[in-house]
Structure 1
Amino acid sequence: MRIEVLLDVKTTLGEGPLWDVDQQRLYFIDSFDGRVFRTTADGRELRAWDVPQKIGSMALRKDGDGAIVSLARGFHLLDFKTGEVELLHDPEPDAASNRINDGKVDKRGRFVAGSMDTQESGPNGSLYSISTGFEVTKLDTGIVCSNGPCWSPDGSIFYFADSWSGEIWAYDYDLDTGAVSNRRTFVKINTPGGGAADGSTVDAEGCVWNAQVYDGKLVRYRPDGTVDRVIDMPVKKVTSVMFGGPNLDILYVTSMAKPPLPRFPGDGVLRGSLFAIYDLGIKGVPEPRFGA
């Protein structure tokens, strides 16, 4: 195994690595600076799009050259050709202290994303599902900071974390309806550095990889919740993970250059870098696109 800096972009809050198997390109975002990036597997051909608000996550669309993005004030469509952003729906118009955060697409093309309290102090967020017809459904409530949505390889189990609950949860997931049920604790986060569960992905063997922000660790959990592997990263503020590359065997890791609140720790010169981890001997699964 080797860890390399793929891009030293100093993202204020790097998040959401997304490998697209069709284009063979890696997307990632800077949540605080409102920017979407795209690059090749080896970090060449970097391109960026600006969005008008803080961005929590994105997913590519099946139709057209664009993405669905969760911005601070709701769900939008981003047109890559023009750079224009169109509002679909703001599910929390009266929650000024909230913003929409992490999200991913299920096997039927729905975009599932949650909101968060920007001060990360109260359970004011919710979890939403956006259908291929742009209908928004609330799936869960009482969340401080929505993070880490992902599914088992067959799509029947949905994993999700409220970062400050100290747990990653598992739900039964109905692919036909997009409904969740039977929420239970998948794992409890126990980090010596006071870290929290951030972004996650599931590999081809059904194991959950979680970036444990502020503790600088990536943890691979088996489907039964036991720890299989821990990787120590060169920075403490790792934020999210995604397998990509031509063979889906490179693990991409985002990080933040500046913590969102003063109580969180700083980092060294590699803060805000996009990392690539090679030779893990593990492959990911292709990420679905949004749409019917």
Structure 2
Amino acid sequence: MRIEVLVDVKTTLGEGPVWDVQDQRLYWIDSFGCRVFRCTADGREIRAWDVPEKIGSMALRRGCGAVVSLATGFHFLDFETGDTTLIVNPEPDKPNNRLNDGKVDQRGRFIAGSMDTQEAGPNGSLYRLDPDLSLHRLDDGIIVSNGPCWSPDGKTFYFSDTWSDEIWAYDYDLETGNVANRRTFTKLGMSPGCATDGSTVDAEGFVWNAQCYVGKLCRYAPDGSLDRVIEMPVKKVTSVSFGGPNLDILFVTSMARPPLPRFPGDGVQRGSLFAIHDLGIQGLPEPRFGG
């Protein structure tokens, strides 16, 4: 196994790596820097787009451009012009919330949740944006929405509230996009201050989770048991995703500056985009939003 700094752009809050199988490019975001980045698998040809608000996540569209979860709602992002267009604001009555992590299911629906910007109260919800641009609330009572991803067959949905010390599993109906039977998939319990952050599922059905503030990547078997722990060179790791020509490189984002003063600082590699090679594991292609 080899860990390298792929791109050092000092993202204030790096998040949401997404590998584009079609064009062989990696996208990731700076949530607080209000930017979307793109590069090749080896860190070349870096490109960036500014967005007008804090950004929680992005997904590529089947046509062109992306759908992004900005602070005030779901938007389209046009890569040609850099313009963003509002689709819907799910929480106009909650000015202290913003949208956060999100991913697309096998049928092209974008699932993303909101969060309390002070990370204090259960004021957030989980939403599904369908290809027809209709919006549906799937769950609520969430402090910080994080880590949405699916089992390889698409029938189990994984999700977490960052400060719950758990990753949850739901039954997922691929036909309707509805969730049911929320239960504990695994408990973290690793060390004080550990927070569950972005997740992905590999081709073997194992869940990878970035555990922020303790600098660990954890791989969990489908039964929730801990399979592997990778110690990262920075503490504030934020999200993970497989990519590269063979989908066998694990890309890892990190933050340069914590969002609240109670969180720890980090070393000179803070805010870097990392690539982990030679794991002997492949990921799954990320679906595109159908709208």
How far the C-alpha of 1:225 sits from its partner, in A, is: 0.3
Whole-angstrom distance in 2 between the partners of 1:280 and 1:136: 38
Whole-angstrom distance in 2 between the partners of 1:6 and 1:19: 14
Q: 1:235 to 1:193 in 2, by over 3 A?
A: farther
Q: 1:172–1:182: 8 Å Cα contact kept in structure 2? A: yes
User: Would you say 1:55 and 2:55 are equivalent positions?
Assistant: yes
How far the C-alpha of 1:193 sits from its partner, in A, is: 4.5
2:263 match: 264
Whole-angstrom distance in 2 between the partners of 1:5 and 1:191: 26
For 1:48, what is the secondary structure of its paired residue?
strand
Whole-angstrom distance in 1 between the partners of 2:160 and 2:55: 18
Q: 1:26–1:39: 8 Å Cα contact kept in structure 2? A: yes
Return the TM-score normalized by structure 2. Answer: 0.99
For 1:199, what is the secondary structure of its paired residue?
strand
Q: Which amino acid aligns with 2:27?
A: Y
2:11 match: 11
Q: Which amino acid aligns with 2:157?
A: F
How far the C-alpha of 1:48 sits from its partner, in A, is: 0.2
List aligned pairs for 1:1-292, cutoff 5 A. Answer: 1-64=1-64, 66-291=65-290
Whole-angstrom distance in 1 between the partners of 2:192 and 2:28: 26
Whole-angstrom distance in 1 between the partners of 2:27 and 2:133: 23
How far the C-alpha of 1:158 sits from its partner, in A, is: 0.2
Whole-angstrom distance in 1 between the partners of 2:126 and 2:232: 29
Q: 1:27–1:39: 8 Å Cα contact kept in structure 2? A: yes
Q: 1:210–1:219: 8 Å Cα contact kept in structure 2? A: yes
How far the C-alpha of 1:63 sits from its partner, in A, is: 1.1
How far the C-alpha of 1:194 sits from its partner, in A, is: 2.1
Q: Which amino acid aligns with 1:258?
A: R
Q: 1:73–1:93: 8 Å Cα contact kept in structure 2? A: yes
Alignment RMSD, CA only? 0.6
> Identical aligned pairs, as a percentage?
74
Whole-angstrom distance in 1 between the partners of 2:206 and 2:250: 13
How far the C-alpha of 1:161 sits from its partner, in A, is: 0.4
Q: Which amino acid aligns with 1:182?
A: N
Q: Which amino acid aligns with 1:240?
A: S
Q: Which amino acid aligns with 2:24?
A: Q
Whole-angstrom distance in 2 between the partners of 1:27 and 1:62: 15
Q: Any stretches of 5+ residues in structure 1 without a counterpart?
A: none
Whole-angstrom distance in 2 between the partners of 1:45 and 1:228: 35
Q: Which amino acid aligns with 1:187?
A: T
Q: Which amino acid aligns with 1:145?
A: V
Q: Which amino acid aligns with 1:134?
A: L
Whole-angstrom distance in 2 between the partners of 1:31 and 1:271: 15
For 1:164, what is the secondary structure of its paired residue?
helix
CA offsets per residue over residues 266-292 of structure 1, 9 Å max, x none? 000000000000000000000000006
Whole-angstrom distance in 2 between the partners of 1:226 and 1:247: 27
For 1:248, what is the secondary structure of its paired residue?
coil
How far the C-alpha of 1:159 sits from its partner, in A, is: 0.1
Q: Which amino acid aligns with 2:38?
A: R
Whole-angstrom distance in 2 between the partners of 1:120 and 1:200: 19
Q: 1:193–1:214: 8 Å Cα contact kept in structure 2? A: no
For 2:152, what is the secondary structure of its paired residue?
coil
